[in-house]
Amino acid sequence: MGFRNLSHEVETEYRGLKIHAASNLHRSCLSAIDKLQLPPKASALDLGAGEGAFSQRLLEKGYQVVAVELDRARFKLPIPHYSLDLNLDFSDRIAQRFDLVVAIEIIEHLSSTRHFIANCLRLLKPDGVLLLTTPNLESWLSRIKFIREGRFLWFEEEDYRSYGHITPVFSWQIAQVCQENNAEIINVSSTDKRFLREKLGHGLLEVLRNKALYMSVLRPLMNGRKNGEIGIYTIRKRPEAQSSPVPKLLQMKSR
């Protein structure tokens, strides 16, 4: 995901490697991974790795890292890496299976939510974990923007032209895809709320008007994940013996 530089707190690089993600998202993702308590020297696949900033963080944590980056020349670390189009069946091109697959700020750039997550899950070992992030469409500010403008936060025309954001993804979609692919969401967290407050508006009156609308009218009606700019999902692949039943709709054959 592209990020407009609206805050002095934006982390733009790590060890000289450029970061193209929301403020402090890499740190938040690393914190979520630490809580998983994966085995020492666990294998990890970093999808859409860019120059390799998050791959470098994983290496420093002791992970055995493989990366995927469409632009081979862009990736700067001397570790195994593939140049693959993540819109295609990329899991067929990678023989190894991993304890951890990471997809930070990727899925909103791709054409099919279900296809991408299914490929990620196929690359996991039994009981492996997928860490996935995407803009939180259910945040209170994103809902206000949709009511007023008909567009979600981070899916305005500028985000399409400049960053290639083409696919809004809801938390309920991710849950459905997990159910369809023998996996389960084990935790959902998000980046903090400071950035959302910045997006209330530029003038004092606009900020107060939007805040008043949220507090007095919309908040009591909202369910779901109302806070946080970016959702961070940790998803565990179930062992085959623990497979969940496929919804009847998906079992129906076309006539």
pTM for this model (two decimals): 0.83
Cβ partners under 8 Å of residue 125, min gap 6: 43, 97, 98, 99, 237
9-34: b (≥16 Cβ within 10 Å) or e: ebeeebeebebebbbbbbebbbebbe
- Taking alpha carbons only, the member of 38, 44, 70 closest to residue 57 is 44
Domain of residue 225 covers 13-239
* 17-18 vs 13-14, strand pairing mode: antiparallel
- In this predicted structure, what is the pLDDT of residue 229? 86
- In this predicted structure, what is the pLDDT of residue 154? 83
Q: Is residue 6 in some structural domain?
A: no
Question: Residues 50, 27: contact at Cβ < 8 Å?
Answer: no
Q: Is residue 97 in some structural domain?
A: yes
Q: How many domains does the chain have?
A: 1
* Domain CATH code at residue 106: 3.40.50.150
- pLDDT digit string (tens) for the chain, length 255 residues: 444 444 446 789 999 999 988 878 999 999 999 999 999 999 999 999 999 999 999 999 999 999 999 999 999 999 999 999 999 999 999 999 999 999 999 999 999 999 999 999 999 999 999 999 999 998 877 887 888 788 888 888 988 998 899 999 999 999 999 999 999 999 999 886 554 445 555 555 555 555 555 554 566 666 666 678 899 999 999 987 455 454 444 443 333
Residue 130 in tokens? 């997928």
- In this predicted structure, what is the pLDDT of residue 113? 96
Helices and strands, counts by H and E, the chain: 9, 9
Q: Is residue 94 in some structural domain?
A: yes
Q: What three-state secondary structure class fits 6?
A: coil
Q: Is residue 225 in some structural domain?
A: yes
Q: Is residue 222 in some structural domain?
A: yes
Q: Is residue 251 in some structural domain?
A: no
Q: How far is CA 27 from the centre of its chain?
A: 14
* β-bridge partners, 132: 103, 233
Q: Cα(17)–Cα(40) distance, rounded to whole angstroms?
A: 25
Question: Can you spell out the DSSP letters for 210-236?
Answer: HHHHIIIIIGGG--S--S-SEEEEEEE
Residue 58's identity, in one-letter code, is L
